[in-house]
Structure 1
Amino acid sequence: MLTPGWLISLIFIGLFVYLCLTTLAPWQLNKHEDLKARNAQLVESSAAGPVPLDEVIRRDGSLGTSEWHLVTASGRYLPVEDVLLRMQSVDGELVYQVLSAFRTDSGDTLLVNRGWVRVGDNNTVPDFPSAPTGQVTFTARLRIPMDAPADPIVLNEWNMVRNIDPPAIGGLLGVDLSPYYLQLAGGQPGSLEPMPLPSTESGPYLSYGLQWMAFGVLAPIGLGYFVWSELRQRRRLDDEDNEAAEAWPREGGNRAAGPDHETTASEAPSGPPAATVDGPPDEVADSDRLVAAAMRDRYGDRFASEYRRISRGGNRA
C-alpha cells in the first residue's frame, strides 16, 4: 500500500491541509476582520461630526482607531512643489492624486491629499489649481499611510510616488512630515476632485476563508476515500486470485485422462488438440499469480485483471 505514489500523495495532502488551516484561511479571515473594522470606522465617522485635528492626534492610544474620522485643521499650505501619487484610478480611469504639504497652527507639518486630476496623453500632467496661500481652515478625513515604499521617480518634471510614505516624501520636499495625512473633502480650500470613499460592503474575504477551511477538511476525507477504494479493489483482486487457484486442480483433473479412459465419439475433439501448460497445476497457478502480481505492479490493476482473464480462458480451451 505504501508505494512511492501513495507516499507522495500523503505528503502533498498533509502540506495542503497545513497551508489551508494555518495560512490561507487565516489570511482571508484576517482581511475580513480588517475590512469589517474599516467599515465600522467609516460608518462611525459619517455619523459623528468633525473634531479638531489636535484633539484627535493627542488622544491616548493608536491613531489607527481614529482613521477616517472627520477633523478640522487650520494653518497654511507650504510654498513647496506638489508630489503626485501615480498609478491610481477612479471609476476605472487613470488619475494622479495631488499631495501638498501643510503646516498647522500648532506647528505640525503633514501631507494633504487634495484630490485627483486625470492622466493626460503619454502620462502627461494636466494643469490644475495650486494650493491657496494664506491662512485656511478646512475639513478632511484623517488617514494612516499603508506600510509600503514610496518608490519615488521623476516623470515629466514632476516628483511622483507609488505609495504615500510621509518620511520618503518629506525627503523629496525637504521637510519633516507627520506619520499621518489628511484627505480633503469636496468644497474645501485647495480641494480638487475629491477622492471617493471606499464601499462599506463586506467583500468576499469571509467566504474565501470558509472555502479554504472546507478544503482543509475535505482533502483528508478525499484521501481516505481513495485509500478505502484501493483496499477494496485489492481485496477483490485477491479473491479472484484465490478463486483462480482453486479452479486449477479441477480444470487440470478434467483434462488429464488416464490410460484406461476411453474417449467416446461425443468426447472426441473435433479440432486440433488444445494447448496445455506444462508443469503441475499448483506450480502453474503459482506462476500465474506471480505474473499477475508483476503486471499489476507495473501496469496497474486493469492490466493484471485482463491478464488473468486471458490466462484462465486459454487454459480452459
Structure 2
Amino acid sequence: MYRFLLSPRWIGLAIFVVVMFVTCFRLGQWQYDRYHERQDANEVTRGNYTAQPIPVEDALADGWSSDLAWRTVTATGTFDPQHEVTVRFAHRDSRTGVEVVTPLRLDTGETVLVQRGWSKADNSGGASEEIIPPPAGQVTVSGWLQPDSTADGDATTPRDGEVRAIDSESWDDLLGAEPMPGFIAMTAPEQDGLEMAKKPDLSSGPSFFYSIQWYFFAGLALFGYFWFARTEVRERRQAAAVTTA
C-alpha cells in the first residue's frame, strides 16, 4: 500500500520536504541565537547605563571595546564650538532634526566628541539656526559612551559642519589630532533647545517570534508530507474497496 512512496513524484516531494525542513529549522535556530545575543547585550547595557559614572579617561584607558557601549562617564574640559558639527537627518519619534556634536577639550589635553543633544530641523538635513552654543569655560558633562559608526568615510567625514554619522577616526583632519574613540551621548547638564540622549532600547526585539515562525514552517513541511501521504493511502484503499466490490 505504501509502495507509491518510492515513485519519482513522491521521492521528489520527500526531498523537497527535507530541504524545507532543514532550511526552516536552521533559520529558526539562527533567530533564536540572535534572541539570546540580544538578551546578553541588554544585560551589559543595563549594567553600564545604570552604573556610577567614571571619568571618560579611565573608561577608555585601554581603548574601545564593545562592552563599553552605554557606560556612564563624566568628562571635564572646555567645549570647542569652532569645530561643532551636526549629524543630518537624525529623526526622533518621527520628527526631523539634527544631532549636535561638539568636541570637548579635556584638561588632560585629549579631546572627546560630545553629542550635546537633538534639535528639531526641517527635512532638508540642514542645521537649525536656533541651536544654542555650548557653555563657555570649563564644564563637567556626563553621559553614555557610544561606539563609532561603521558607515563609510563619505558619511562620517565632517564637511561644511555636517556629517551623516559619527566616527571619531574621521575627525582627525578637522581637529588636527585624533580624538578619543567613540563619543559621549550627553545626559547632563540639560540645555535649553536641545533634547538629551534617549535611554537605550532594552526590548527583546522580534527574533524570538521569528524563530517560532521558522520552527512552525519546519513542522508544517513535515505535517504536510504525512498528511498528503495519508490522503493518498485513504484514496487508494477506497479505490481498492470499490474494485473488489
Please classify the TM superposition score into its range, dividing by the shorter chain length: 0.7 to 0.9
Q: Distance in 1 between matches of 2:105 and 2:17?
A: 58
Counterpart for residue 54 of structure 1:
57
Secondary structure, counterpart of 2:88 in structure 1: strand
Cα deviation code 1:139-191 (max 9, x no counterpart):
1111123544365299x954221x33332354566542333211100425799
Counterpart for residue 210 of structure 2:
208
Secondary structure, counterpart of 1:117 in structure 2: strand
TM-score (norm 2): 0.77
Q: Distance in 1 between matches of 2:45 and 2:156?
A: 33
Change (3 A) 1:233 1:118: same
For structure 1, list consecutive stretches of 5 or more residues without a partner in the other structure: 248-317
Q: Distance in 2 between matches of 1:198 and 1:20?
A: 32
Shift of 1:32: 2.3
Counterpart for residue 269 of structure 1:
none
Letter in 1 for 2:38: L
Contact 2:76-2:140 at 8 Å conserved across structures = yes
Counterpart for residue 126 of structure 1:
128
Contact 2:75-2:140 at 8 Å conserved across structures = yes
Contact 2:141-2:189 at 8 Å conserved across structures = no
Structure-to-structure mapping, 1:21-60, within 5 angstroms: 21-22=25-26, 24-58=27-61
Kindly tell me the number of residue pairs found equivalent between the two proteins. Answer: 239
Secondary structure, counterpart of 1:206 in structure 2: helix
Counterpart for residue 198 of structure 1:
200
Counterpart for residue 93 of structure 1:
95
Radius of gyration: which is bigger? 1
Counterpart for residue 143 of structure 2:
140
Q: Distance in 1 between matches of 2:80 and 2:193?
A: 15
Letter in 2 for 1:194: M
Q: Distance in 2 between matches of 1:220 and 1:103?
A: 64
Q: Distance in 1 between matches of 2:91 and 2:225?
A: 46
Q: Distance in 2 between matches of 1:77 and 1:14?
A: 62
| Residue 152 (structure 2) aligned to one of 149, 154, 162 | 149
Structure 1 segments of 4 or more deviating over 6 A? none
Shift of 1:4: 4.9
Q: Distance in 2 between matches of 1:74 and 1:190?
A: 20
Contact 2:117-2:195 at 8 Å conserved across structures = yes
TM-score (norm 1): 0.62
Counterpart for residue 15 of structure 1:
19
What is the root-mean-square deviation in Å for CA atoms of aligned residues? 3.5
Letter in 2 for 1:68: W
For structure 2, list consecutive stretches of 5 or more residues without a partner in the other structure: none
Q: Which has the higher contact order (CA 8 A, sep 6+)?
A: 2
Identity of counterpart residues, as a percentage?
A: 26
Contact 1:17-1:215 at 8 Å conserved across structures = yes
Contact 1:139-1:188 at 8 Å conserved across structures = no
Q: Distance in 1 between matches of 2:54 and 2:148?
A: 20
